[in-house]
Amino acid sequence: MSRLRMLQGLMATVILSAGFAVVPTVAAGTPQTFTGKVSDAMCGAKHTEGLAPAACVRACVQKGAKYALVVGDRVYTLDTSDQATRDTLNKLAWEQARVTGTADGATISVKSVTATR
């Protein structure tokens, strides 16, 4: 093989490898919509404080837990710094909600929250 062909092959490999490294990052940044019950990250799907589930969610969040969304068997921690969003989550404690945001493992960076009926 000539040096030019080897260099072209090497450059193609480097460019393709860089492209594949970027694809998962772009896919992870795509907003998705999740539907489930608003809970807290401490209790998840099971509330054991002897309170009604909605009251338990509010009590745990007051103690420092983050809000969570129970979707089937999965519990996603909801990450938001927006007070209006936290107020909406407080109103929807232990009710069905639709959360739009970017998922990263078991955490959703929340863009919006709406009640589902």
Q: Are residues 93 and 83 in the same domain?
A: yes
Q: Are residues 40 and 84 in the same domain?
A: yes
Q: Are residues 20 and 43 in the same domain?
A: no
Q: DSSP per residue over 35-102, as a string? A: EEEEEETTTTT---SSS-HHHHHHHHHHTTPPEEEEETTEEEEEE---HHHHHHHHHTBTSEEEEEEE
We report the CATH number of the domain holding residue 47 as 2.40.50
Q: Are residues 102 and 63 in the same domain?
A: yes
pTM listed for this prediction: 0.74
Q: Are residues 41 and 66 in the same domain?
A: yes
Q: Are residues 51 and 104 in the same domain?
A: yes
Q: Are residues 75 and 108 in the same domain?
A: yes
Query: Number of structural domains, the chain?
Result: 2
Q: Are residues 26 and 41 in the same domain?
A: no
From first to last of its 117 residues, what are the pLDDT tens digits of the chain?
577 676 666 666 656 555 554 444 445 578 999 999 999 999 999 987 678 999 999 999 999 999 999 999 999 999 999 999 999 999 999 999 999 999 999 999 999 999 997
Q: How far is CA 11 from CA 15, 16, 18, 20, in A?
A: 6, 9, 11, 14
Q: Whole domain around residue 87: which residue ranges?
A: 32-115
